Structure 1
Amino acid sequence: MHQTPEEQSEDIVTSPENLAATNLRTAENPNVEPELLRQLAVSDDITIREAVAANPNTPTEVLLKLAEVFPQQFLKNPVFSLLLLENPNFAADIPYYALLSLLKQSELPDFFLSSAANHANPEILYLVAKHPNTSDNALEEMTRRNPRDTPLGLSIIKREDVSERVLSILVEYSAIAVRLCLAKNPATSPSILAKLAIVREANPNFQQEIYLKLAKNPHTPIIVIHGLLKKCDRKIKQGISQRSDLPISIIIELASDSQIHATNSLAKNLSITADVLMELANHRELRVRQMVVRHPNVPQTLLDRAVTNPELRQYVAENPSTPADLLIELVQDEEEEVLKAIATNPSATASVLESIAKTRSQDILIAQHPNATTKLLQQILWRLAMDERLSVRKYVAKHPHTPVDILITWVRKQPELRLFIAQNPSISAEIIEQLAGDTSAKVREALAYNPSTPTYILEKLAKDSQIPVRQAVANNPNTSGNILEFLAQDWQCSTFVAQNPNTPTQVLENLIRLSGFNWLLLAHPNTSLSMQHKLLGILGTSAIASERIYAAKHPQTPVEMLMQLTRDRNPEIQNAALRTIERCDR
């Protein structure tokens, strides 16, 4: 006579090993009574529960409970196919977490995925949309039934095998964010891009965004590009001007356009070859010829010829490929626009800049040029220091190469310039010490922000009577940990201490006791993992929904907290926690 598991457990003859083996054989027996399998389904032995999940005689409701933990056994169970045949909407009856677990399995039959595609829960639909076995018919049905579900549409278009038919439906019915993503994606086919160009958006701003992304997409057909040129939108034309496949006809049309000047668009497109530029060099339209001599790929012979043409000289001067000898020749022209173009040319050498400096007309531009030598800079800054315009002297006061003698004189005689001298990253220790005792709190604040201010001065300014000065010290990236520990006791500086990269871990831990710092502390590089978990635990149990959402989305939130958030009363928080769990499982 067959004994039940309860009877066997009461039999003193049966050892624990024999009992477990007997229960396992019972759980594997396809002829065993369903009621007995129901009892074995709650066994503490995982192998027994696993066997119950694979047994075709297990009651349906028991199988559905076991599917969450044993998805593969459930899918291999012969009764699985029968359940789907009996109930086409079977996926809707499966418990939520069990269905999530099943949809993460790599091998799923089409009829099951098609059933799940009709589910009401968006998270289920996202998993179906991502599954490699989901058919085009299921994707198409989901798209038609959920036209405004942006995450679903984005999940579908990210599939490597998504068909043109499904994408065509998305173009016509999906939310604007999905169409924008399609228009931007370089993997989108030319035919789909062409369809996007003819869909009309109710919002004109969205329409322009679609056009702009199409203009920049390298696979947008040229016939569509010709149509976009007629939109008369400057941004769209600038986007087109950077394409690598521009025919000469479009280059000419863009270069001739009064809205979009060649120096700001086509001249930056390095895909335009020297051969094309040679072909356009004698074009009747002046703007086209100006673009040619401004382009970095222009042949040297064209530059030599253009330097004698007054209408082209400025554009030769702007060209970063123009050699130094031609630039020096252009300096002799002493024309204001030409000199300005040379002074802003990133390829202008030190000798070219010295040549311009003799004209004394572009001193500020030369002072900003990276190729200016220290000797030339100091010569120019001495000249600028004599300028009557206060704005020019303010610039000199902040310049890192300004001679120290000028700054010392100004500290003593020009109090209106001390604020700007305090911002100079190269000021001497003598000047710093004078400014640290300045009567103006604004000057002391600027000094406290200055990354060149030494620690002993920052320590002094950390005890300043003015709050903005102390806050500036707390914000300075060179402030030491000891000073930051002192400032952390000042509630008016705590926010800045919490964001300073030098703040020690122990100080950060002390700030947890204060409210309002959790977001800042989580982002701090010195926050330990255990401290992050503690902070996320606080946020995850907060009464404020935005804080719980933050915890639900954070990759470091402990799994236990995420599981708790999946049962939150707010559906957005539930879904965010589920997505985070899904990412962690990958």
Structure 2
Amino acid sequence: MADSSQSPNSLSLEQEAASEETSHIRLEELARSSTELSRIVATNSSAAPQLLRELGYSADEITRRCVASNPNTPVEDLLELGTEFPEEFLNNPVLPLVVLENPNFLADMPQEALLIMLKHDAVPSWFLEWVANLDSDEHEEVLLVLLIKPDVPQTALSKLSRSQNEVIAQAAKLHVNLAGEMDEGWEEAAKTALEMTQWNFSGQEMLLYNVGIVPEFLASALPIFDDRNLTIAQNPDTPPHILQSLVENTESRDYVAAYIVENPNAPAAALKILLGDENHRIRDSVACHPNTPLSILQAYQQQLMTLKNPVTSAETLSELATSPWVEIRKGVAFHPNTPQAFLALLAQDENWQVKTAVALNMNTPCRVLEQLAHDESESVRAAVSYNPHTPEIALEKLYEPYDSVFAEHPNISTNFLEKLAIHPQWGIREGVAKNHNTPVSVLEKLAKDPHEGVRVAVVGNPNTPQDAIATLKTDPDNGVRCAVVSRRYRDKEYSLKPPIDSVFSEYPKILRTKARTMAVDIFVPALFVDSWMNDDRALLPLSTYQLQKISLEQLLEDVKSQDNKVRIGVAINPNTPLSLLEKLAIDEDDYVRRAVGTNLNASENILEQLGLDQNSDVREAVAYHPHTPVTTLTQLAEDRGWHIRKAVASHPNVPASVLNNLAEDATEEVKHAVFDKVKRFFDNSEFVSIFQKLAEELSIDSDFRSVIASHPNTPKSVLERLVKDKCRKLIAANPNTPINVLVQLTRDLDGSIEREAIANLWVRLTLNSELPHNDLEQIIEIDDVQLKTAIARHPKTSTSILEQLAQHSSCYIRTTVAKHPNLSLSTLKQLLQDEDSYVRKAALATYLQYFSESQNTPNSILEQWQVVQNPKTPPKVLVKLATSSWLLIREAVASHPQISTKLLHQLALDTCSEVRFQVAQNSKTRANILQQLSQDKTDRVKIAAAQNPNTPINILEQLACNYQWDTKIHQAAVKNLVQRRSPKVGTILESYVTDDEPSFTRFVIFLHPFAPSSLLTKYFRSWAWQERYAIAQNPNTLTAIRQQLARDSNCLVRAAAKANL
């Protein structure tokens, strides 16, 4: 479009283009006639929206700018033009009105456009208010850029200061319009705010810390603090007391444990703590560490074995309750014999697994369970809900909507059961239907439940009335109808033969199953054979008779009834007087007499009398009765009925002599009952003898093989016979399995069996100091580091085996060997020259301990060591020692305070890198030698050279530039340059700034006094107040930049800038 020259006529056209009276058609013609006229038309508020839309796409920038400021421009076009012309867009008079009508009008504007507009100098307050209402998580950067502006209204700042986004809230609270000017106290306030900052981490934090530029007050509050601890834990030069403090700090222990157990400097006290770590890999590493004393390993294993014994005394358990090891305290917390006072103590343990074990223990007091119900650990709270003794009040606090354990818990209230009966999940309703505490009215409703599983459970509940069961006889589901038939037969049987309590379990199966699973999950030292969790018996079906409250008068009347079922009800009633029981004990009806035999109030006289009864069911009830005299049990042990002899075998008071006879019973069921009885006794010699006799016989029975294979009292001959059976994993873990069998199992194709056998062998090596030489020779052939370490530590290990182990690739094994008193002089001398410094040190300590007198001859290593350890040894003597064949001596010479620079130069050429390392570390080493060592083939030597304060600046700069940031050489060189205030540091720090967004890395570099002015000038407008604060503090910041920061929106930035002007 060609421009026309100025003329009277053209001026008339300009007036026409600017006039609001000009028609739309004429304005359109004018806009198309010339660029100048199109610009004027674009400013005309009468121009048609369609024309303005067209002009908004003009190639002419001025025309588009005019369209952006025209109030008649369509709003969608304004949005597009706003990014290009933020000032015209924001000052368009129509925009506040549009936003007032439709607050979401600007919601679709790209974030980039918002940022461009906010960076404009003059932004109207209505726009600032609107931006302040944006979502703080989706528009965090936009809101932070908003908060840079000094004219944000207080109402907007007040809103943003309450934001859930802590970054936004912090920046808003520090805005000068809200916080006001800060003339004093700003440095402490800034420190506090920086410590609370949620930083953006780029992954370079550890680099910054290692080169020494991270302010110490920030290090402990940031993730790099953990990284720093990690570096300390990994460093083989870290002093033992520092490693000890890391382990004693429970907050850092878990993070650094895996590295401390691999650190050759780890002290015995730290390793003792970590021996009880939850992680078995940590425990295994401690067992292999050369600094772990054998006495500590033995103490731990002995305590662990004590916990696996179900008859360990309460006194012993009380002593172990304060063990420093989590695994031991966990075992005490789970043990059935632990006193309640110590369970209460362990309920306050810092470890969640210990508290979980307490929560699972049946003997834990209710008050303790109530306390644990509030524990922060979800696992602890779940364990509380699985304990059948947990009181009602705690259960209701723990309630989880979809956990059926609550519906079946024996202590849940009837009110709660009524609520759960209408739960949408049928499994929960089924649990309610199974619960023996569920009211009859609820059971009647559940009998009509749409799910067949719930109706089956209703039929099985002993409290369900016969009327409700009768309605289910014709249920459409076959399973429900079958349940009704089974219930009818059961009721008929129980009406005459009430169930014997000891034959059933009193705890719901769901509690037993969940508790057992959790015990396995937290790796308690043992699941005891008599634990309530291992009870697989059916739930005790409560008798309806027992639920009835019958008066004494009624009992006196019922005892005369002709109906034997009524008399049976009197016979089993716990409130029936002894006189009535004596009368019923001679009742003519067998079922009545049997019922008397099940009553816990029956006297010894009655039981003795019924023990002679002609009816075998009566005698069986007596055999199960807990108060039956031993004389009667002895008599019944010879009864002709095998089911009676079986009952005697399972009786808690049966003498060992009786069991010994029953162990030879002709009936297998009786033998099995004896076996189940004696397997619970680990220490009773009479019962152990019976167990061993039965183990020989029953080992062919697959039902008993697993118990026999795992039991510590199983004869070795039986274990050897079962070694090829499917239960060989249990044999591999059995403490009684012969060494030769375990060695054989370490070659098993099943890896889990191999691991069990190796673990068992390790325990034998640790606990048994008298293992014969041939056993050690068998074990040494197994390729396992843990076993070889244990052999290297074993007091009976022969000189020949130690010589073999001294060649092992593991420096930990060689270090352990070097400490052994049985080591031959030749092997010890070999280890004195070992490539690993810790092996050499251990060998030297042994040499000094055992050979200091016999081997202290002229020019021997002992004489040389004594000389070189003297800080006043003259340089001439050191010159001679510098050619010693012993590496330890040359190392000591290289670090000696009297060494000459000439001798240092000589040792810098030593063939051993350890000697050159000592030279590189020596503060006397001259620059030319350090320059040579900076090119050493060994990184450790180069690092030492980079750390030496005498290394020339230019060499340090080369090392810093030639190696990657993540290398220790680069970091050591840069740290040395920083300490020596090299001008090159600024360039290096600038190269670390690779982030496009504000970050912790950028902040630290902007704060450092070596940061270049050009870098600070580039970033002084950062939307992160922390970075602007760092630049305001930096001495290299230009005065003009600092003057601008003195007018910053952030009160801390302003204060810092003003203070440094």
Q: TM-score, normalised by structure 2?
A: 0.29
Q: TM-score, normalised by structure 1?
A: 0.48
Larger Rg belongs to: 2
